[in-house]
Structures are given as C-alpha cells and as structure tokens.
Amino acid sequence: MESKVITLSDAVSLIEDGQTLALGGNSFSRMPSSFVREIARQKKRKLSLVKTAGGYDIDLLCFAEAVSEVIAGYVGFENVFGLCPSFRRSVESGIVKVREHACATVIAGLRASSFGIPSQPIAGLQGSDVPKMTGFEKTSDPYTGKEIFMIPSITPDWAIIHVPYADKYGNARIDGGVFEDILMTRASTQVILTTEQIQETSFFQENPAKTKIPSFLVKAVVQIEQGAFPMSCYPFYDLDEEVIKKYFIQSKSNNQLEEHLASLVNIDYGQKNS
C-alpha cells in the first residue's frame, strides 16, 4: 500500500470550484482550520459547505468569497462572540444561499447518503418553519399513519476532517467527541484528512476499535500540527480566544482577510515561529 501523505497545497488543489465540502469538527472543536485557510489562499470559488454547527470555518470561507451555498443547522461563535460577521454579510447581500436545516436534518441527509437511499425520515419538525423554507416533503408513516418529513440525501464531493492521529495510509483515530465526522466520511464521495500526528500503523493495530476512519475511504493525508488552530483539538490544545477575537474583528472588515491568512501561515505550513 502506498503512502497517501501529501502537502497542504496539493491536498487543497484536489478541490474543484463548485464542489460540495463536508467540514468536520463542531463549533469551537477540531475543525479543519488550516485546510480552509489554504482554500482561501488558493481562491477557490462557488463551494457548497455542509456542517451541523459551523463557525470560524464557514465564516472564513465566506470572508474569502469562496462560498455559494451553506447547508447547516447553525453558524456562529456561540455565546463567546455571537453571530459570524462575514457569513451574515454574505447571506444578507445574497452572495451566499442558505439551505436552512436543523442539525438533526443535516445528520439525516448524511445518513441517507451513507445508507445509499434517496431520503431519510425524521420526526420532530412539526411547528417549525424549516421544512417550508427548505422544501422538505411530508409523508405518512405506513405503519402508524403519523406525519413525518423526508430529508433528501446529502452527498458531499469531499469530507475534510481534522484528526489527532492518522497513519500514512489514512487510518485515523479521533479522541474526544467525534461529532458528525465519521458519518461525513461514509456519506461523501472522497475524504481528505489533516492530522496532528502521523503514527505507525501498529499504533492503530494495537487498539483497532479506536480506528474511526479506515484507510480505504481516504484519498489524502496532510500532517499539520495545530491544524485546527485557533480552535481546539483534544488532547493537544484548547481554543485560543484572543486569536478568535482578533479574527472576529478582522472579519467585520472587507480588507483584512490577507492579514489574517498571513498571520497563521507558519502554522499551516509547519514553520516554527521565530
């Protein structure tokens, strides 16, 4: 088996304009931050983004004018900073279309794709405006007669997942919360991993039950220490609120994207700050 380890630049070059990306992690945790910054540097365009709870990743790509559509249940910086400035600006101006979801309906759509079926039933949307806004169709359960909504499958072109550990072939372990990352790798056509550490395959063989992503699903592996920064990656580091705060302020201005990308290029390309 050949190594799948490539550079960050080469990994991002696999992404084509107009494709759909499922972005791993959740809220402030283990998102593929270095990868999305390189997407911005390479000036990718018209991407569709899939996530249950996004924040910095989706906002930065909106800041970079790389996004045409967002499929998500929530996008924001929680109660730490509030709504995402660039995401909000892009949606209000009509540059970015939002397919309004609940987190559970994103999961249902990904599950449908992973199961190879066209849609997935879900309960609990009665009284919500989400079905009307996004066009979810109703049907009757054939066994109970109760009304349910059918969520169409979501099949991203790529799942982009940041993990603590991987080997050079693409086997990966996730310590801490896995969120929707495993599901994304099953629902997507192809998978790219960024990882804090590349371990020998024996590391995974010693405890195979912890191998959450198997190598045969993975197209490429990129090693990036602090690849989720300024968000957290258990068990290596917590989020950096000062850096997030600075980005939040920069995101309110249309002309500070390059400054933000330049400030983190050492992390993204493995260069040690002097």
Helix axes 85-92, 56-63, angle to 10 degrees: 50
Q: What is the pTM assigned to this prediction?
A: 0.96
pLDDT at 254 over 80: no
H/E segment holding residue 198 = strand 190-198
Cα angle 230, 87, 253; round to 5: 75
| Burial class of residue 141 (count of CB atoms within 10 Å of its CB; 0-12, 13-18, 19+) | exposed
Hey, what amino acid is at 46?
A: K
Q: Give strand pairing partners of 194.
A: 162, 222
Range with lowest mean pLDDT among 4-13, 63-72, 117-126: 117-126
Which alpha helices (H) appear in 135-256, and where do they start and end?
181-187, 201-205, 241-251
* Record: fold of 8-116+154-261: Glutaconate Coenzyme A-transferase (3.40.1080)
Can you give the pLDDT at residue 97? 97
Domain range summary for the chain, segments of one domain joined by +? 8-116+154-261, 119-152
Residue 176's alpha-carbon distances to 2, 30, 116, 180, 214, in angstroms, are 29, 10, 28, 12, 18
Calpha distance 246→59 (Å, rounded): 14
What confidence score (pLDDT) does residue 87 get?
97
Q: What percent of the chain has pLDDT over 90?
A: 90
